Amino acid sequence: MGIVASVLKKFHGGVHPPGRKELSEQCAIESMPMPKRLVVPFHQHLGAPSEPVVNVGDTLFKGDLLGSAGDGISAPVHAPTSGTIVAIEEHVVGHPSGLTMLCAILEPDGKDQWNPQLQGVDDPFSLEPAAVRDLVKSAGVVGLGGATFPSFVKLSPPRDKVVDLLLINAVECEPYLTCDARLMEERPLDVVEGIRIMLHALQTKECVIGIENNKPKAIAAMQNAVAREASGKDGNIRVVVLPVMYPQGSEKQLIEVVTGRQVPSKGLPIHIGVVVHNVATAVAVRDAVRFGRPLVSRIVTVTGQGITRPANIEVLIGTLADDVIAHCGGLKPGTCKVVMGGPMMGLALHQTNIPIVKGSSGILALTQDESSGKPEHSCIRCGSCVSACPIQLVPCTMAWFAKTEQFDQLINVDLFDCVECGSCAYVCPSNVPLVHYFRYGKLALQSKAREEKKRELNKQRTKLRDERLAREKEEKERKKEEMKAKMAAKKKGKGTETHGSEAVSGEESRS
């Protein structure tokens, strides 16, 4: 059976936080009224930001380009609806530091009209794989599981690497979130079509869709769709049901469970022949290729005890979290925290007027009971965090080095291998906010690396300048010496001439 293990493996560590999916798992995907304005950041993916190609006053169709992809790893950004660009300005976005980012502010015209020139392909399998990848690239499709890595890159493995398996991440192991489960229940055939297109782009035949066993309806829907759509066609697509365990949706852990293989430290899944894509990304790929539609919306789960009406909503990119919360009846009294994403890896928001971006899977409104805002105590060296870590790191030591600003030591304890899954913080009896310390340590090391690079560059510039000055000085000296030698030779020449005439006159006189 190739790369897929006959018996599911178990990864190291992991935790079992309460699922809390019952709040929204029955809520069918709905749309929301057109917001008054959309705030679309030019940078919503991993890699270089997109370059703005629009000006204030431009009127656009839905799907028109707002920002073209930057150099290297990047993705373009498109207009989520038809309307007018009323500003291009800095706006606060979902970032731990409350950072602002350059955004296009779009005032919808209410028609929500796609650009009629956007054309899809009826038979994607007649295209060259490279042409499929180009369509995915120009549609701005990125990983919708939260990582936002441009999808065309993962669909373009290096020539010397063979892809044995396309692994579809439909695990959705973060508590509360149900957007992927609802997508599988409501659009299973679209998921399968997207997978077949991705298999064609990768030129591989094996695909596993990994789903945890707490989503029986999604499992049934996908099994039916696979039986109906994929049988008799190219490719071997299978649904694999997994036990519930957090963080099984983390790429490396999912690969280990399904294939029994471990991605080496600092290595990539492709190094062991696997490419992983999120299940919602498969649908975005299908929409891009079959209909020529760029990624301009995503499904967002709005949930938590603090929201009046939990929901799964298809939201236009750039819609403000405030508008989404208002559509769900607003926050209930007693809400103490709003989180963008899941409770384990999401970002606690300082303010809610931030836009939904391609990576926003959820908005959680949490009450005191649900949130982990308990006071921090000293570490008691219990080792629970070590047992919980799926990467086999030593979180308590890492946190200590970060807290005491011994940043160099953090390299030795593999801080950058940490995937910030939050399992360690979840089990910590002292409520040490371990992930905050890791993020602090990573930021400090990254800024130190930037400073060092700058210093090294300056050092090199100074060295080059000194070498140039030394060369110029040497050249000057050499010219001076040459001049001196010339002068001396001239002087000598004049002296010889005088003696010569004297000699001539002497001879003459002798004759």
CB of 243 to ligand SF4, least distance (A): 19
423 binds ligand SF4 (CB under 6 A): yes
Which of 289, 388, 402, 410 forms a contact with ligand SF4 (CB under 6 A)?
Answer: 388
397 binds ligand SF4 (CB under 6 A): no
Two tokens at 195?
A: 């997978």
Which of 41, 292, 362, 395 forms a contact with ligand SF4 (CB under 6 A)?
Answer: 395
Two tokens at 130?
A: 């490279």
Which of 282, 379, 402, 410 forms a contact with ligand SF4 (CB under 6 A)?
Answer: 379
For the segment 90-119, give every residue that binds ligand SF4 (CB under 6 A).
Answer: none
173 binds ligand SF4 (CB under 6 A): no
Q: Which is nearer to ligand SF4, 328 or 345 (CB)?
A: 345
CA angle 398, 48, 139 (to 5 degrees): 120
Per residue, what are the HEC states of 308-344?
CCCEEEEEECCCEHHHHHHHCCCECCCEEEEEECCCC
432 binds ligand SF4 (CB under 6 A): yes
Quote the DSSP letter at residue 173.
-
Within 10 angstroms of residue 419's Cβ, the number of other Cβ atoms is 18
Q: Which is nearer to ligand SF4, 37 or 436 (CB)?
A: 436
CB of 399 to ligand SF4, least distance (A): 6
414 binds ligand SF4 (CB under 6 A): no
Distance CA 227, CA 192 (A): 10
Distance CA 156, CA 415 (A): 29
Buried b (16+ CB within 10 A) or exposed e, 471-481: eeeeeeeeeee
CB of 446 to ligand SF4, least distance (A): 16
Two tokens at 194?
A: 């997207």
* SS3 at position 16: coil
382 binds ligand SF4 (CB under 6 A): yes
Determine contact, residues 76/25, Cβ cutoff 8 Å: no
Which of 25, 139, 418, 437 forms a contact with ligand SF4 (CB under 6 A)?
Answer: 418
169 binds ligand SF4 (CB under 6 A): no
CB of 344 to ligand SF4, least distance (A): 9
Strands 77-78 and 65-68, bridge-based pairing:
antiparallel
421 binds ligand SF4 (CB under 6 A): yes
Which of 132, 170, 320, 396 forms a contact with ligand SF4 (CB under 6 A)?
Answer: 396
Which of 385, 401, 402, 437 forms a contact with ligand SF4 (CB under 6 A)?
Answer: 385
Distance CA 183, CA 472 (A): 70
Range in contact with ligand SF4 (rule: CB under 6 A) among 51-59, 286-294, 301-309, 391-399: 391-399
Please count the residues of this chain forming the interface with ligand SF4, following the rule CB under 6 A: 27
389 binds ligand SF4 (CB under 6 A): yes
Query: Could you tell me the maximum CA-CA distance found in the chain, to the nearest angstrom?
Result: 134
- Partners of 41 in beta bridges: 103
HSE value, Cβ hemisphere, 13 Å, CA-based, for 246? 24
Determine contact, residues 62/79, Cβ cutoff 8 Å: yes
- Positions in the binding site for ligand SF4 (CB under 6 A): 379-385, 388-389, 391, 393, 395-396, 418-424, 427-430, 432, 434-435
